């Protein structure tokens, strides 16, 4: 997609062919800054400190992190140490573990001096596949938006989304945003309600992306969505996900569950954009997913530029804070899963999709 008027992916190799480049998302939307990852520790801290974020992109960064480690030492001990270290960067998004295991499976049979090159090549394949998968998710979600537009006689389709499941959270296109971009590019009238998504305000990243692409949108406070649904101002909800379990439960950014409850109460379809790499058949249900607990400082402080443009950190409360990063939306609240294999209805469909995707690996 485009950033600052230029087409870009969210992760790339620098001119030296081995340093990994990413955008420092802690600075967005106020400043566009690039980061260079030169070690596996760089990749670990970029993920843990949320300089890079979004389940698919975390997987890509972790894959390259393993390649960076093997560039220094291709031995078995170094491989396992780097794998274990990177796997602890964040506990909830399954793509992190999926990508690391995929690279390890490729390099493990090789001689130590062949592993780094193979890891880089596999990480690059993973990134290219992510772009294709997200484009396919866009193709699968586009008919949903078309149908609503037809039913409304061409009036703008109002779509609510939560957190950032856009191209900044993937390698390109995004998951939840891919159908929006496809519909907008086709000329379908859209308006996107963008939840602010406290405490890290990741909705501002979605708003930034949509503005860069020219998609009409409004940033709203997290608790406005229920009122908008009650007023008939939301035609559909689409969100991303960090993990979908075997029974179809959806782990996504905190606040997603409340949107799903409101959508059910008001008859608004609730869709989850799901790449196959985010499906976790080994975890039976949402109650078995480890929920990341982040620092209470994210709730107690907020950062942004003051009127002079100077980045400022402001305390908003002196109380202790509890800060779970994700919640669980039961499968019963999900209208459908928008995947690279098409629109899927429930756990049985998801299991079939996973079986087909693993056959291709």
The dihedral built from the CA positions of residue 205, 318, 92 and 47, taken in this order, carries a sign that is positive
Of 130, 235, 242, 327, the active-site residue reads 242
d(CA 326, CA 158): 25
- Chain centroid to CA 44: how far? 17
d(CA 171, CA 8): 9
- Chain centroid to CA 128: how far? 16
Q: Going by C-beta distance under 8 Å and a sequence separation of 6 or more, which residues neighbour residue 19?
A: 13, 36, 37, 38
* Cβ atoms within 10 Å of 340's Cβ, excluding its own: 23
The dihedral built from the CA positions of residue 212, 215, 221 and 223, taken in this order, carries a sign that is negative
- Quote the radius of gyration of the chain (alpha carbons, Å): 20
Per the annotation, the verdict on 297 as an active-site residue is no
* Cβ atoms within 10 Å of 29's Cβ, excluding its own: 17
Q: Going by C-beta distance under 8 Å and a sequence separation of 6 or more, which residues neighbour residue 142?
A: 179, 182, 183, 186
N-term to C-term CA, the chain: 27
243 in Cβ contact with 102 (< 8 Å): no
**Nearest to 58, CA basis, from 234, 248, 240, 180:** 240
Catalytic positions: 242
């Amino acid at each position: 997609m485009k950033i600052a008027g230029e087409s870009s992916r969210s992760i790339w190799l620098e001119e030296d062919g081995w340093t990994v480049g990413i955008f420092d998302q802690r600075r967005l939307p106020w400043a566009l800054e690039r980061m260079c990852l030169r070690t596996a520790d760089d990749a670990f801290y970029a993920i843990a400190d949320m300089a890079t974020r979004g389940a698919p992109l975390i997987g890509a960064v972790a894959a390259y992190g393993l390649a960076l480690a093997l560039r220094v030492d291709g031995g078995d001990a170094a491989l396992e140490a780097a794998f274990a270290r990177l796997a602890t960067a964040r506990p909830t998004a399954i793509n992190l573990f999926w990508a690391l295991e995929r690279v390890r499976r490729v390099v493990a049979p090789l001689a130590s001096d062949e592993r780094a090159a193979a890891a880089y090549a596999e990480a690059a394949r993973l990134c290219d596949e992510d772009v294709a998968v997200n484009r396919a998710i866009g193709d699968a979600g586009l008919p949903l938006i078309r149908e609503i537009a037809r039913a409304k006689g061409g009036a703008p389709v109002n779509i609510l989304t939560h957190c950032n499941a856009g191209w900044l959270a993937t390698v390109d296109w995004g998951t939840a945003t891919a159908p929006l971009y496809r519909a907008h590019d086709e000329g379908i009238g859209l308006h996107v309600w963008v939840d602010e998504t406290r405490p890290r305000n990741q909705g501002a990243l979605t708003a930034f992306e949509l503005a860069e692409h020219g998609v009409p949108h409004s940033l709203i406070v997290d608790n406005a969505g229920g009122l908008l649904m009650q007023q008939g101002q939301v035609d559909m909800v689409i969100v991303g996900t960090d993990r979908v379990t075997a029974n179809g439960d959806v782990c996504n950014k905190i606040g997603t569950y409340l949107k799903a409850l409101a959508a059910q109460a008001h008859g608004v379809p609730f869709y989850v954009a799901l790449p196959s790499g985010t499906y976790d058949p080994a975890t039976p249900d949402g109650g078995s997913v480890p929920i990341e607990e982040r620092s209470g400082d994210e709730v107690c402080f907020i950062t942004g530029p003051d009127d002079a443009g100077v980045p400022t950190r402001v305390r908003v409360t002196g109380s202790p804070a509890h800060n779970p990063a994700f919640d669980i939306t039961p499968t019963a609240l999900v209208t459908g899963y928008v995947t690279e294999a098409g629109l899927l209805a429930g756990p049985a469909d998801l299991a079939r999709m996973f079986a087909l995707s693993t056959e291709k690996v």
